[in-house]
Amino acid sequence: MSIRMVRLFLLLSSITVSSYGQAPLAAVEIAWLPVTEAERAQKDPVVDKTAGVEAIFWREHVWDELFSQDWQRKRVVYVRLKIFNEEGKKAAAAIDIPYRNNISIESIEGRTIKPDGTIVPLEKKDIRDRDILRASGLRLKAKNFSMPAVEPGVIVEYKYRETQFKQDIFHMRAQMQQEYPIQRITYFVKPLPRDRISYGMRVWPFHCQSSKLKLENNGFNSTFLEMVPAFKEEPFMPGEPNVRPWIMFVYMEDGKREPQKYWEKVGKDSYNRMKIALKVNDEIKAAANKAIEGTADDNAKVVALITYLRRLWCKIWVDAGLSPFQPAGLDRTRLQSRNQRGSPDLRHRGPCPA
Protein backbone atom coordinates (compact mmCIF):
# COMPACT_ATOMS: atom_id res chain seq x y z
CA MET A 1 0.00 0.00 0.00
CA SER A 2 1.40 3.43 -0.96
CA ILE A 3 2.16 6.14 1.59
CA ARG A 4 -0.65 8.29 0.16
CA MET A 5 -3.18 5.47 0.52
CA VAL A 6 -2.10 4.89 4.11
CA ARG A 7 -2.55 8.58 4.89
CA LEU A 8 -5.97 8.62 3.24
CA PHE A 9 -7.03 5.58 5.29
CA LEU A 10 -5.87 7.27 8.49
CA LEU A 11 -7.66 10.49 7.55
CA LEU A 12 -10.96 8.80 6.85
CA SER A 13 -10.56 6.54 9.89
CA SER A 14 -10.30 9.63 12.07
CA ILE A 15 -13.87 10.69 11.18
CA THR A 16 -16.17 10.46 14.17
CA VAL A 17 -19.23 8.22 14.11
CA SER A 18 -21.51 11.26 14.15
CA SER A 19 -20.40 12.20 10.62
CA TYR A 20 -21.37 8.86 9.10
CA GLY A 21 -24.24 9.27 6.67
CA GLN A 22 -24.34 13.03 7.11
CA ALA A 23 -25.49 14.97 4.06
CA PRO A 24 -23.10 17.41 2.32
CA LEU A 25 -23.13 21.06 3.24
CA ALA A 26 -25.58 23.37 1.51
CA ALA A 27 -24.30 24.76 -1.77
CA VAL A 28 -22.33 27.99 -1.48
CA GLU A 29 -23.95 30.62 -3.67
CA ILE A 30 -21.76 33.48 -4.85
CA ALA A 31 -23.80 36.44 -6.09
CA TRP A 32 -22.55 39.14 -8.45
CA LEU A 33 -20.91 41.91 -6.45
CA PRO A 34 -21.94 45.53 -7.12
CA VAL A 35 -19.91 47.35 -9.78
CA THR A 36 -18.76 50.74 -8.49
CA GLU A 37 -18.71 54.01 -10.38
CA ALA A 38 -14.92 54.12 -9.92
CA GLU A 39 -14.53 50.69 -11.56
CA ARG A 40 -16.63 51.69 -14.55
CA ALA A 41 -14.78 54.99 -14.93
CA GLN A 42 -11.26 53.54 -14.52
CA LYS A 43 -9.14 54.53 -17.52
CA ASP A 44 -5.70 53.16 -16.65
CA PRO A 45 -4.34 50.03 -14.93
CA VAL A 46 -2.99 50.44 -11.40
CA VAL A 47 -0.74 47.38 -11.03
CA ASP A 48 1.10 47.46 -14.35
CA LYS A 49 0.81 50.68 -16.36
CA THR A 50 1.47 48.79 -19.61
CA ALA A 51 -1.22 46.14 -19.10
CA GLY A 52 -4.11 45.86 -21.56
CA VAL A 53 -6.29 44.01 -19.05
CA GLU A 54 -6.23 43.88 -15.27
CA ALA A 55 -8.17 41.86 -12.72
CA ILE A 56 -9.97 44.15 -10.29
CA PHE A 57 -10.33 41.07 -8.12
CA TRP A 58 -9.89 37.32 -8.27
CA ARG A 59 -11.88 35.44 -5.60
CA GLU A 60 -11.97 31.71 -4.90
CA HIS A 61 -14.10 29.90 -2.32
CA VAL A 62 -12.82 26.41 -1.54
CA TRP A 63 -14.41 23.93 0.84
CA ASP A 64 -14.38 20.20 1.55
CA GLU A 65 -17.49 18.10 2.02
CA LEU A 66 -17.76 14.69 3.63
CA PHE A 67 -20.74 12.37 3.61
CA SER A 68 -20.78 8.67 4.46
CA GLN A 69 -17.06 8.02 4.09
CA ASP A 70 -16.56 9.81 0.80
CA TRP A 71 -15.40 13.38 0.22
CA GLN A 72 -15.41 16.08 -2.40
CA ARG A 73 -13.53 19.34 -2.76
CA LYS A 74 -15.52 22.22 -4.23
CA ARG A 75 -14.46 25.58 -5.60
CA VAL A 76 -16.30 28.67 -6.75
CA VAL A 77 -14.16 31.03 -8.82
CA TYR A 78 -15.22 34.64 -9.45
CA VAL A 79 -13.08 36.96 -11.61
CA ARG A 80 -13.68 40.62 -12.55
CA LEU A 81 -11.53 42.10 -15.35
CA LYS A 82 -11.14 45.65 -16.65
CA ILE A 83 -10.28 46.07 -20.35
CA PHE A 84 -8.06 49.04 -21.29
CA ASN A 85 -7.05 48.58 -24.94
CA GLU A 86 -7.23 46.30 -27.98
CA GLU A 87 -4.55 44.00 -26.60
CA GLY A 88 -6.59 43.53 -23.43
CA LYS A 89 -9.73 42.96 -25.51
CA LYS A 90 -8.01 40.12 -27.35
CA ALA A 91 -6.72 38.57 -24.12
CA ALA A 92 -10.09 38.58 -22.34
CA ALA A 93 -12.53 37.94 -25.20
CA ALA A 94 -12.23 34.13 -25.01
CA ILE A 95 -11.97 32.26 -21.72
CA ASP A 96 -10.77 28.67 -21.18
CA ILE A 97 -11.40 26.72 -17.97
CA PRO A 98 -9.27 23.54 -18.21
CA TYR A 99 -10.23 20.42 -16.28
CA ARG A 100 -9.34 16.73 -16.14
CA ASN A 101 -10.99 13.46 -15.28
CA ASN A 102 -12.70 13.39 -11.87
CA ILE A 103 -13.39 17.13 -12.09
CA SER A 104 -16.66 18.73 -13.18
CA ILE A 105 -17.22 22.37 -14.17
CA GLU A 106 -20.74 23.74 -13.94
CA SER A 107 -22.85 26.83 -13.25
CA ILE A 108 -20.78 29.02 -15.57
CA GLU A 109 -22.03 32.60 -15.69
CA GLY A 110 -20.56 35.70 -17.25
CA ARG A 111 -21.45 39.27 -18.16
CA THR A 112 -19.97 42.37 -19.72
CA ILE A 113 -20.65 45.76 -18.09
CA LYS A 114 -20.27 48.81 -20.31
CA PRO A 115 -19.11 52.20 -18.96
CA ASP A 116 -22.72 53.49 -19.01
CA GLY A 117 -23.83 50.55 -16.82
CA THR A 118 -25.43 48.47 -19.59
CA ILE A 119 -25.09 44.73 -18.88
CA VAL A 120 -24.67 42.14 -21.64
CA PRO A 121 -24.97 38.58 -20.25
CA LEU A 122 -23.10 35.52 -21.48
CA GLU A 123 -25.50 33.20 -23.32
CA LYS A 124 -25.59 29.50 -22.39
CA LYS A 125 -25.30 28.56 -26.08
CA ASP A 126 -21.87 30.23 -26.21
CA ILE A 127 -20.38 27.82 -23.62
CA ARG A 128 -18.64 24.87 -25.29
CA ASP A 129 -16.57 21.80 -24.38
CA ARG A 130 -13.39 21.06 -26.23
CA ASP A 131 -10.40 18.73 -25.98
CA ILE A 132 -7.06 20.36 -25.30
CA LEU A 133 -4.89 17.26 -25.11
CA ARG A 134 -5.16 13.54 -25.80
CA ALA A 135 -1.87 11.69 -25.40
CA SER A 136 -0.65 8.54 -23.64
CA GLY A 137 -3.94 8.03 -21.85
CA LEU A 138 -4.04 11.64 -20.64
CA ARG A 139 -7.09 13.70 -21.53
CA LEU A 140 -7.33 17.38 -20.75
CA LYS A 141 -10.54 19.25 -21.59
CA ALA A 142 -11.78 22.81 -21.24
CA LYS A 143 -14.98 24.77 -20.94
CA ASN A 144 -14.60 27.52 -23.51
CA PHE A 145 -16.71 30.64 -23.96
CA SER A 146 -16.46 34.00 -25.70
CA MET A 147 -17.51 37.00 -23.65
CA PRO A 148 -20.04 39.31 -25.39
CA ALA A 149 -19.52 42.95 -26.39
CA VAL A 150 -15.88 43.11 -25.28
CA GLU A 151 -14.20 46.42 -26.11
CA PRO A 152 -11.79 48.82 -24.36
CA GLY A 153 -13.43 50.43 -21.32
CA VAL A 154 -15.77 47.58 -20.36
CA ILE A 155 -15.70 45.30 -17.34
CA VAL A 156 -15.79 41.56 -17.98
CA GLU A 157 -16.63 39.15 -15.17
CA TYR A 158 -17.36 35.47 -14.93
CA LYS A 159 -17.80 32.80 -12.28
CA TYR A 160 -18.15 29.03 -12.16
CA ARG A 161 -18.38 26.07 -9.80
CA GLU A 162 -15.89 23.19 -9.77
CA THR A 163 -16.23 19.82 -8.01
CA GLN A 164 -13.22 17.54 -7.55
CA PHE A 165 -13.77 13.82 -7.07
CA LYS A 166 -11.11 11.40 -5.83
CA GLN A 167 -8.36 14.01 -5.79
CA ASP A 168 -5.62 14.41 -3.19
CA ILE A 169 -7.51 15.87 -0.25
CA PHE A 170 -4.40 16.47 1.84
CA HIS A 171 -3.18 19.60 0.12
CA MET A 172 -4.16 22.33 -2.31
CA ARG A 173 -1.87 24.71 -4.15
CA ALA A 174 -3.50 28.14 -4.31
CA GLN A 175 -1.92 30.26 -7.04
CA MET A 176 -1.60 33.88 -5.95
CA GLN A 177 -0.38 35.06 -9.35
CA GLN A 178 -2.33 34.65 -12.58
CA GLU A 179 -2.06 35.56 -16.27
CA TYR A 180 -3.35 39.09 -15.60
CA PRO A 181 -2.13 41.73 -13.14
CA ILE A 182 -4.46 41.60 -10.12
CA GLN A 183 -5.41 44.39 -7.77
CA ARG A 184 -6.53 41.90 -5.10
CA ILE A 185 -6.66 38.09 -5.07
CA THR A 186 -8.50 36.40 -2.20
CA TYR A 187 -8.95 32.79 -1.15
CA PHE A 188 -11.80 31.80 1.15
CA VAL A 189 -11.20 28.33 2.61
CA LYS A 190 -13.40 26.11 4.77
CA PRO A 191 -11.78 22.80 5.81
CA LEU A 192 -13.62 19.78 7.15
CA PRO A 193 -15.07 20.56 10.63
CA ARG A 194 -13.04 19.49 13.64
CA ASP A 195 -15.97 17.49 15.01
CA ARG A 196 -15.66 15.20 11.98
CA ILE A 197 -11.92 14.87 11.59
CA SER A 198 -8.87 14.92 13.85
CA TYR A 199 -6.66 16.63 11.25
CA GLY A 200 -6.31 20.40 11.14
CA MET A 201 -5.60 22.60 8.12
CA ARG A 202 -2.35 24.55 7.94
CA VAL A 203 -1.44 27.45 5.66
CA TRP A 204 2.05 27.86 4.22
CA PRO A 205 2.78 30.84 1.91
CA PHE A 206 5.63 30.66 -0.61
CA HIS A 207 7.28 33.68 -2.26
CA CYS A 208 4.65 36.04 -0.88
CA GLN A 209 3.38 37.59 2.33
CA SER A 210 -0.37 37.16 2.24
CA SER A 211 -2.67 38.59 4.89
CA LYS A 212 -3.33 36.73 8.13
CA LEU A 213 -6.29 34.39 8.05
CA LYS A 214 -9.54 36.13 8.88
CA LEU A 215 -12.67 34.27 10.00
CA GLU A 216 -15.61 35.43 7.89
CA ASN A 217 -19.28 35.43 8.93
CA ASN A 218 -20.05 32.40 6.75
CA GLY A 219 -17.44 30.19 8.41
CA PHE A 220 -14.79 30.58 5.72
CA ASN A 221 -11.26 31.79 6.53
CA SER A 222 -9.88 34.33 4.06
CA THR A 223 -6.41 35.46 3.06
CA PHE A 224 -5.49 37.93 0.32
CA LEU A 225 -2.62 39.47 -1.62
CA GLU A 226 -2.72 42.87 -3.34
CA MET A 227 -1.04 44.50 -6.35
CA VAL A 228 0.13 41.25 -7.93
CA PRO A 229 1.85 41.56 -11.33
CA ALA A 230 1.06 39.12 -14.14
CA PHE A 231 3.03 35.91 -14.27
CA LYS A 232 5.58 35.92 -17.11
CA GLU A 233 7.66 32.96 -18.18
CA GLU A 234 11.36 33.15 -18.99
CA PRO A 235 13.47 30.70 -21.00
CA PHE A 236 15.10 28.05 -18.78
CA MET A 237 13.46 29.49 -15.68
CA PRO A 238 13.23 27.29 -12.56
CA GLY A 239 10.02 25.39 -11.91
CA GLU A 240 7.05 27.67 -11.20
CA PRO A 241 6.70 26.66 -7.51
CA ASN A 242 10.21 28.09 -7.03
CA VAL A 243 9.47 31.52 -8.51
CA ARG A 244 5.73 32.09 -8.42
CA PRO A 245 3.81 33.22 -5.30
CA TRP A 246 1.47 30.54 -3.99
CA ILE A 247 -0.02 29.19 -0.79
CA MET A 248 -0.20 25.60 0.38
CA PHE A 249 -3.33 24.63 2.28
CA VAL A 250 -2.59 21.27 3.86
CA TYR A 251 -4.24 18.89 6.34
CA MET A 252 -1.88 17.83 9.11
CA GLU A 253 -2.01 16.09 12.44
CA ASP A 254 -2.21 18.40 15.42
CA GLY A 255 0.87 19.07 17.51
CA LYS A 256 3.92 21.26 17.17
CA ARG A 257 6.77 20.16 14.93
CA GLU A 258 10.33 21.32 14.60
CA PRO A 259 10.68 22.70 11.04
CA GLN A 260 14.21 21.34 10.48
CA LYS A 261 13.31 17.78 11.50
CA TYR A 262 10.02 17.90 9.62
CA TRP A 263 11.53 19.00 6.30
CA GLU A 264 14.42 16.56 6.65
CA LYS A 265 11.87 13.75 6.93
CA VAL A 266 9.82 15.08 4.01
CA GLY A 267 12.97 15.30 1.89
CA LYS A 268 14.06 11.76 2.72
CA ASP A 269 10.60 10.34 2.07
CA SER A 270 10.38 12.15 -1.27
CA TYR A 271 13.85 10.97 -2.27
CA ASN A 272 13.01 7.36 -1.46
CA ARG A 273 9.92 7.57 -3.66
CA MET A 274 11.98 9.09 -6.47
CA LYS A 275 14.82 6.53 -6.40
CA ILE A 276 13.47 4.48 -9.27
CA ALA A 277 12.95 7.51 -11.50
CA LEU A 278 16.42 8.86 -10.67
CA LYS A 279 18.23 5.60 -11.33
CA VAL A 280 20.56 5.97 -14.34
CA ASN A 281 20.57 3.04 -16.77
CA ASP A 282 22.49 2.33 -19.97
CA GLU A 283 19.76 3.83 -22.16
CA ILE A 284 19.83 7.15 -20.28
CA LYS A 285 23.64 7.22 -20.35
CA ALA A 286 23.70 6.62 -24.09
CA ALA A 287 21.14 9.37 -24.72
CA ALA A 288 23.05 11.83 -22.51
CA ASN A 289 26.36 11.09 -24.24
CA LYS A 290 24.75 11.59 -27.63
CA ALA A 291 23.19 14.89 -26.52
CA ILE A 292 26.52 16.40 -25.38
CA GLU A 293 28.61 15.30 -28.38
CA GLY A 294 30.88 18.10 -29.51
CA THR A 295 30.39 20.31 -26.43
CA ALA A 296 33.45 22.11 -25.12
CA ASP A 297 32.76 22.65 -21.41
CA ASP A 298 30.31 21.93 -18.59
CA ASN A 299 28.11 24.95 -19.33
CA ALA A 300 27.72 23.84 -22.95
CA LYS A 301 26.86 20.32 -21.77
CA VAL A 302 24.08 21.64 -19.55
CA VAL A 303 22.59 23.69 -22.40
CA ALA A 304 22.87 20.70 -24.76
CA LEU A 305 21.07 18.41 -22.29
CA ILE A 306 18.24 20.93 -21.73
CA THR A 307 17.86 21.43 -25.49
CA TYR A 308 17.72 17.66 -26.00
CA LEU A 309 14.99 17.26 -23.37
CA ARG A 310 12.98 20.13 -24.82
CA ARG A 311 13.21 18.55 -28.27
CA LEU A 312 11.86 15.27 -26.86
CA TRP A 313 9.03 17.15 -25.11
CA CYS A 314 8.17 18.84 -28.40
CA LYS A 315 7.99 15.45 -30.09
CA ILE A 316 5.40 14.25 -27.56
CA TRP A 317 3.13 17.20 -28.40
CA VAL A 318 3.66 16.89 -32.15
CA ASP A 319 2.93 13.16 -32.08
CA ALA A 320 -0.32 14.03 -30.28
CA GLY A 321 -1.17 16.43 -33.12
CA LEU A 322 -0.85 19.54 -30.93
CA SER A 323 1.34 22.60 -30.68
CA PRO A 324 4.25 21.81 -28.30
CA PHE A 325 4.25 25.26 -26.75
CA GLN A 326 0.53 26.13 -26.65
CA PRO A 327 -1.88 23.17 -26.49
CA ALA A 328 -4.70 23.65 -29.00
CA GLY A 329 -4.75 27.42 -28.57
CA LEU A 330 -4.96 27.37 -24.76
CA ASP A 331 -3.26 30.20 -22.91
CA ARG A 332 -0.33 28.41 -21.26
CA THR A 333 -0.34 30.54 -18.12
CA ARG A 334 -4.08 29.97 -17.69
CA LEU A 335 -3.53 26.19 -17.81
CA GLN A 336 -1.14 26.28 -14.88
CA SER A 337 -3.21 28.90 -13.09
CA ARG A 338 -6.11 26.45 -12.97
CA ASN A 339 -3.78 23.59 -12.09
CA GLN A 340 -4.24 24.02 -8.34
CA ARG A 341 -3.64 20.53 -7.15
CA GLY A 342 0.07 20.08 -7.63
CA SER A 343 -0.24 18.01 -10.80
CA PRO A 344 2.55 17.94 -13.39
CA ASP A 345 3.21 21.03 -15.47
CA LEU A 346 2.04 20.04 -18.96
CA ARG A 347 3.51 23.01 -20.74
CA HIS A 348 6.63 23.58 -22.81
CA ARG A 349 8.62 26.73 -22.11
CA GLY A 350 9.47 28.68 -25.23
CA PRO A 351 9.62 27.70 -28.90
CA CYS A 352 10.73 24.23 -30.04
CA PRO A 353 14.50 23.91 -30.50
CA ALA A 354 15.59 23.02 -33.99
Q: In what order do the strands lie in the sheet with 214-215?
A: 119-121, 103-113, 155-165, 70-83, 53-67, 182-190, 221-228, 214-215
The answer to whether residue 268 sits within a structural domain is: no
40 exposure class (CB count in 10 Å sphere: 0-12, 13-18, 19+): middle
Q: What is the number of structural domains in the chain?
A: 1
pLDDT at 344 over 60: no
pLDDT at 165: 81
- Top pLDDT among 326 and 122 is at 122
- Which amino acid, residue 291? A
State the pLDDT at residue 9. Answer: 38
Q: Is residue 199 part of a domain?
A: yes
Residue 24 lies in a domain: yes
List the beta bridge partners of residue 201: 251
Q: Is residue 75 very low, low, confident or very high in pLDDT (cuts 50, 70, 90)?
A: very high
Residues of 120-137 as b/e, b for ≥16 C-beta within 10 angstroms? bebeeeebeeeebbeeee
Task: List the CATH number of the domain containing 10.
Answer: 2.60.40.3140
pTM of this prediction?
0.71
Residue 164, domain member (yes or no): yes
State the helix-helix crossing angle for 282-291 and 298-319, rounded to 10 degrees: 110
Q: Residue 273: inside a domain, yes or no?
A: no
136 or 212: whose pLDDT is higher?
Answer: 212
The highest-confidence range among 10-14, 66-70, 161-165, by mean pLDDT, is 161-165
Of 66 and 324, more confident:
66
Residue 281 lies in a domain: no
Domain containing 233 equals: 3-259
Residue 298 lies inside a defined structural domain of this protein = no
The pLDDT > 90 percentage for the chain reads 41
**Residue 231 counted as domain residue:** yes
